[in-house]
Structure formats: structure tokens, C-alpha cells
Amino acid sequence: MEIVSGAAFQMAKQTNNRERTRQIDDIVLDILRTVEQQGDQALIDYTEQFDQVRLHTLEVSEEEWEEADALVSSSFIQAVQTAQANITAFHRGQLEKSWYMYRENDVMLGQQVTAMDRVGIYIPGGKAAYPSTVLMNVIPAKIAGVKNIAIATPPQLGGKVNPYVITAAKQAGVDTIFKIGGAQAVAAFAYGTESIPKADKITGPGNDFVARAKKWVYGDVAIDMIAGPSEVCIVADESAPADYVAADLLSQAEHDEAATAICITFSDKQAKAIQSEIAVQLEKLERKDVAAASLHTNGRIVVTDHLEEAWDLVNEMAPEHLELMVRNASEHISNIKHAGAIFLGNYSPEPLGDYVAGPNHTLPTSGTAKFSSPLGVYDFMKKSSIIRYSEQALLQEAEAIETLAKTEGLTAHANAITLRRKDET
């Protein structure tokens, strides 16, 4: 992992391979059109093509729901319940309420907050299980009051869904699980099929095909975000144990080859200690090759002269995960303008946030923390403005309305007010 100075550091940019994106879009758009036109049959055909599974039914059966608990350990169920309790407690604080204000002349204004009716959540699957992602997406939707929550996840060979995903879904209160993956699952939620109702919103991570599909269906349905590769930035002074820093960098690098792991520190000695620890720990990882590729392409240890330079670099990166492993870390929160999640101190590593702390682990990536937020209860709710004027109150505002309407050339708008004024003369 390369050591560079603050002045020389430039955030590695993910290669924008336009030709690959065009190729993916061609495939994705064809899938979206086919699912929209052919419904369930297209989903069955694509599952056979991409997952080598011929489905007879798209939905996880009652039998599969029941047998999942027997296939997972009691310690896993306890871990899910621990995470669920913490995630629930945190997200309850995000719940918004309707509000109203009253003015003279019997004017009432306000905002009515209501939940979406139906949400579709994509959970990557097949070879790997992501029960934590189930909890992070389902729990805030349940707290918001969403009535119907469905999951789509690819089937394993043999045609069944990973039992860890089913158990997490059962604990979180999911209504239905569909054995569908990829862009075709996004299409099913966006347009609806014979078996899968159209969703109001699609959330959840996925590969490039899922991400591009979400981008193309946005507008027909809402989406949470288009997430890029995972990122961590660690600001570490000499009080941070080098082995802790190295472990946390590697915990992100093992996600995939495109993941980004950056450390900002303040001395060459500390930088070299972290670099040495990374080399030692890397050899012990099961996903060594993935982590090594990530660190080679997108990993850097940056040596700056002072904290102010570090804050400038952090705010320019707007990282998904930011760890402040510095003395009195809490005192530095005000220096951070852009980050998805901020972890304070040597004992608040990023994996804590991934699993059990409570805040959502679905976070803005690729610098989008400059203008977007973590997934939350608010993502599953919507607001309606409330306006009630009495006759007297409307007449007081009538002239201003007419003036603005006529200025914009919208004479029918003005006439809607003028008619009401005439009725009073």
C-alpha cells in the first residue's frame, strides 16, 4: 500500500469505462423491456439463463420459510436479534410526524406524513448471504409504516434461497421473498408481473447490472441510491494502534477489487507502521487476492502536516465511512462536512456499523455524501402539503395571486380567483 504526501495525494477515481457501461445498458434495457412485456415467464427464463435454476414458482414457499430456522445456528438467530434491537432503537428516532399550523381567518396549513404502500428490496445472494442488509433495509421500512415489504434475491443452485437471508427476513417481518436476482428483479418491482406486485420504491445494493437497472427505472418507481464500491477513510494520529488501523483498512478492501481504503496520518513513522501491519495481516485473509487488488489500485496512506489539511482532504473525498482514530475524536466532528457515517475513537471500527451499532449501513458512496444521506425511515415516507383558507382569508390574498398569475401569462389561474372575488361584490 503506497505512502504519499498530502500534497501529492489525489483520490483514485474509478475508471469510467463508457464502453462497458454501454454494453451493460444494452443488456439491462433489453431485460427491462422483456420483463415489462412478458412478466413471470421472462423472470423464469432469465433465472434459468443467469442462475442455472429452472423455477416452478417465483415465491419462497411456506415450507422453505419453516425449514430455514433449522438450517441456521441459534447463535446466528441471537446475533440477528441483537442487531435488530439496536437498528430498531436507532431508527425509531427518525420517525417524522404530521404537523399543522393555524393562522388568523381560519387558515390551516401543514404537512401530512404517510408511509409508502409497497416496497421492493433487493438483496444480493446466490453464493453469499447478506442478512445484515435485510435488516438495514426492512427495519426502517417497517418503522415508517410500509404495509407490504417484499424481498427479491437470487436463488442458490438447487432453487432455494439462502436460509440466513430467509431467517433475517422472518425476524424483520418481511411479507414475501421472491427467488429473482439481477436486473430482472428490478424490472419486476418497477413494472409488476403476474406474481410480483409493482413497488412504490426499490432499495438495496447490487452489482453493476442491478445498479444500472435502478438508474433506468427511476421515475417509474423511486429508488434509494445508486451505490458504488465501498470506501473507508481513516484519520489516525500516533495514538491509534497501527494494527487496528490496518485491520480496518483491510475490512473494506476485502469487499471487492474496486473498494477504496485510505488512511490519513501525520508522521512517516506511523505511516510505515501501518504499512507493515497491512502486509502482515493481508497474508492471513481468506480474500487476500481481492484485498490486495483493492489496495494496489485504490489504497493509499497519506501523510499530512496537520489536522486542518486532513479535514480538507476528507471533505473533498466525502467518504462512505470515516473513522476518526485521533485523540478526543468527538471534538472534531464539527470539522466534518461530508461523510456517510463517522466512527469516533479506536473502539468504533467500521464493521461495528455494518452489523449491530444501529445506524444504517446503506450509505452514499463515490463522493455523493456531499449531497445525500444514509438510508433511513424518511426514505419510506412521503409528505403532502395541507392548505385550507377561509373565504375571508382568500380574498385578502386575491390581488397578489391575480398579479402573479397574469405576470406568468396564466389567465385561467387568475380567473379562478377573480370568480370568487366577484361572488363577494
Instruction: With H, G, I as helix, E, B as strand and everything else as coil, classify residue 148.
Output: strand
Q: Which residues are catalytic?
A: 320-321
Tell me the residue length of the chain.
425
- Residues 6 or more apart in contact with residue 49 via CB below 8 angstroms: none
Is residue 179 within 8 Å of 153, Cβ to Cβ?
yes
Q: Are strands 118-122 and 148-152 parallel, antiparallel or unpaired?
A: parallel
At residue 90, the 3 state secondary structure works out as helix
Residues 162 and 129 sit within 8 Å (Cβ to Cβ): yes
Beta-carbon contacts of residue 5 (< 8 Å; ≥ 6 apart):
302, 303, 304
What Cα–Cα distance (Å) separates residue 27 from each residue in 111, 201, 271, 303? 42, 22, 44, 44
Backbone angles phi, psi at 123, to 5 degrees: -120, 115
Write the DSSP symbol of residue 128: S
Q: Within a 13 Å sphere around the CA of 169, how many CA atoms are in the beta-carbon half?
A: 28
Sign of CA dihedral 133, 80, 323, 377: positive
* Cα–Cα dist 245/310, whole Å: 16
User: What letter does residue 15 receive in the DSSP assignment?
Assistant: P
Distances from the Cα of 323 to the Cαs of 86, 140, 242, 269, in angstroms?
20, 24, 14, 20
Residue 122 DSSP label: E
Closest-CA residue to 7 (of 306, 270, 299, 274): 306
Helix axes 18-38, 182-191, angle to 10 degrees: 50
Backbone angles phi, psi at 341, to 5 degrees: -140, 140
Confirm if 108 and 200 have CB atoms less than 8 A apart: no
For 381-401, letters b (16+ CB in 10 Å) and e give beeeeeeebeeebbbeebeeb
Q: C-alpha distances in angstroms, 341 versus 108, 230, 269, 360, 391?
A: 38, 12, 28, 9, 50
366: alpha, beta or left? (left if phi > 0; alpha if psi -120 to 50): left
